[in-house]
Amino acid sequence: MSHPHYYIGLMSGTSADAIDAVLVTFDEHPRLIAHYSEPLSDSLREQIHALALPSDNEIDRVGALDISLGQHFARISLTLLQHAEVDPEQVIAIGSHGQTIRHRPPGSPQGCFTLQIGDPNTIAELTGITTVADFRRRDMAAGGQGAPLVPAFHRAIFHSTEEPRVIVNIGGMANITWLPKQEATLGFDTGPGNVLMDGWILAHHGKSYDESGTWAASGAINQMLLGKLLQHPFFAQAAPKSTGRETFNRQWLEDALQGIALGAEDVQATLLELTAITISNAIHSLSSEPMAVFVCGGGAYNMQLMRRLQALLASDKVESTASLGIHPQWIEAMAFAWLARQTMNRQSGNVKEVTGAQREVILGACITPDVAFTPSEH
């Protein structure tokens, strides 16, 4: 009897609220074996957010945080395996997205590069498991945006020949994957997902997110503020396109609020509407035919956001990916487990029509620990 081929996927998103870890097999079809999530401390979150924009002493701060996050990723991977009662030597590879601290897509005045930290050497050393990381820069080297990368995974597990589908991933930023029945897969970032809402409620209520969108639902949408926010040129930019906290951040919001007196709850309602409108506008740009829309990421738990999406996409069915058999919280971490598998099998992991790369390439750098290593030695 053959043993399962296990992979671990690690994900820490733009909001830097938690590290998600999954244990997955892909032997017959993607199967989630175990999952574990651990919130990041306020201190770590503040350090990450502070590095999203240019500031002093960046190199030393990045270097120290790179190692610290690598240690966190390793410990969380081992905790996941303990919960699942799986030995580290049974895992073929860890796929670690890392923590993005700067993303400059093609055309950026500062140059074209992307940087994720969470040292994979540290992960491999502390776990004894081959670790695949640094997925985005290979796509950029081939002329792509380096993002979004999850559409390749969405295509592999969610494509249907019976209905056109859109997978909406709402993390800190939001992106969509268009899965027509026959034509090529398309996808791109649509703009802010939860990042502005999370930052606003943290500043005003000390909470990391607006549970179920309840606070946003208590406010009123301000059309003047919404109009100013929607003027950002990213929303009119043609795909392929990607974005991040460098573009959509608290300072950008504060600039838009100049001269507008609003209650904090009204700002939250308007930020939620910004996310809903930019996602729905992007979906409407894909096709006029009815389609099935499936939401994953933290946004799937924001009931007010889901209600607004359904209202704006009235002719489309809007559900979470749970209706397709995969819990929405774990999709992105599963995607990076899958990308690690692609790398280990020397198969491409990007979709060139999505990222704008010249060709589909093998993504990621692979760190292999010593053969004789066992984690118990540390």
Q: Which two tokens stand for residue 327?
A: 């819990």
Cα distance between residue 111 and residue 145, in whole Å: 12
Q: Would you say 283 and 227 are in contact if contact means Cβ atoms under 8 Å apart?
A: no
Q: Which of 255, 254, 247, 257 is nearest to 278 (CA)?
A: 247
Q: Is 20 annotated as a binding residue?
A: yes
Q: Is 13 annotated as a binding residue?
A: yes
Q: Is 355 annotated as a binding residue?
A: no
Query: Which segments within the chain are labelled E, that is strand?
Result: 6-11, 18-25, 31-39, 91-96, 99-104, 113-117, 131-133, 165-170, 173-179, 186-192, 292-296, 317-320, 365-367
Collect all residues with Cβ–Cβ distance below 8 Å to 91 and sequence separation of at least 6: 6, 7, 8, 23, 81, 129
**Is residue 204 within a helix (H) or strand (E), and if so which, with residue range?**
helix 195-205
Q: Quick one: CA torsion of 11, 349, 177, 140, rounded to 10 degrees?
A: 90
Q: Which two tokens stand for residue 343?
A: 């790398």
Residue found under tokens 């993504």: 363
Q: Would you say 140 and 113 are in contact if contact means Cβ atoms under 8 Å apart?
A: yes
Q: Which two tokens stand for residue 105?
A: 């897509």
Q: Is 15 annotated as a binding residue?
A: yes
Secondary-structure breakdown of the chain: helix, strand, coil percentages, each rounded to the nearest 5: 45, 20, 35
DSSP, residue by residue, 48-78:
HHHTTS--TTHHHHHHHHHHHHHHHHHHHHH
Q: Is 213 annotated as a binding residue?
A: no
Q: Is 60 annotated as a binding residue?
A: no
Q: Which residues are annotated as a binding site for ATP?
A: 13-20
Q: Which residues are annotated as a binding site?
A: 13-20
